[in-house]
């Protein structure tokens, strides 16, 4: 960065965690637009102890780079839910979870503090998502949320999802604050895609 006179890095990708200490190099980064954790070590043949050690080193790297980043994309399946929750609580502009096969709970959603929240191919109870929107409209959780996208491949009951949200159908092309094909009179996030 000194040689190239870079003030920031666009994307910092964690694809593998080295056995060697890389914190001194990572600590010199001044600003990162997006941190991406894309590798899933659980597919490798690792003992639980070895997997735990790798995850511990990953968290050490993330604790160094996340405070200087505005967005994070995670496709790693954390063995310890508290490690994921530490990221969800961060003050990011965007958090994207991809291919996360562990259940995302209402508590996980409620602790988020991000402007953009995207959940791609996640396991999520529709009742929890409905409760989250109800809490959000009452400004009980994540008042920073402006955009939310949830991609789930299970049969989703729109009646169950929208129950009690006072939503009315609107054309998808509408530029107003919309909830998929619905607009809420309670002012849901500017854009919610399902």
Q: Hey, where are the domains in the chain? A: 9-153
Residue 57 token pair: 């080193």
Q: What is the DSSP string of 66-115?
A: GGGBSEEEE----SSHHHHHHHHTS--SEEEEES--SEEPHHHHHT---S
61-114 tens-digit pLDDT: 888 888 888 899 988 877 778 888 888 888 889 999 887 667 888 999 999 999
100-147 tens-digit pLDDT: 667 888 999 999 999 999 988 888 888 999 999 999 888 899 889 999
Is the pTM higher than 0.85? The answer reads no
């Amino acid at each position: 960065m000194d040689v190239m006179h870079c003030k920031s890095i666009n994307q910092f990708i964690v694809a593998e965690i080295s056995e060697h200490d890389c914190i001194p190099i990572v600590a010199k980064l001044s600003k990162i637009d997006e941190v991406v954790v894309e590798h899933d070590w659980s597919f490798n043949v690792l003992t639980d102890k070895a997997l735990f050690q790798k995850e511990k080193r990953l968290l050490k790297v993330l604790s160094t780079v996340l405070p200087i980043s505005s967005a994070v994309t995670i496709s790693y399946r954390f063995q310890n839910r508290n490690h994921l929750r530490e990221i969800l609580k961060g003050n990011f502009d965007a958090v994207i979870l991809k291919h996360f096969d562990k259940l995302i709970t209402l508590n996980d959603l409620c602790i988020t503090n991000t402007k953009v929240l995207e959940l791609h191919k996640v396991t999520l109870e529709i009742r929890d998502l409905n409760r989250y929107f109800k809490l959000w409209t009452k400004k009980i959780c994540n008042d920073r949320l402006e955009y939310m996208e949830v991609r789930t491949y299970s049969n989703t009951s729109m009646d169950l999802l929208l129950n009690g949200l006072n939503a009315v159908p609107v054309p998808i092309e509408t530029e107003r604050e919309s909830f998929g094909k619905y607009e809420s009179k309670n002012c849901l996030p500017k854009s919610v895609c399902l």
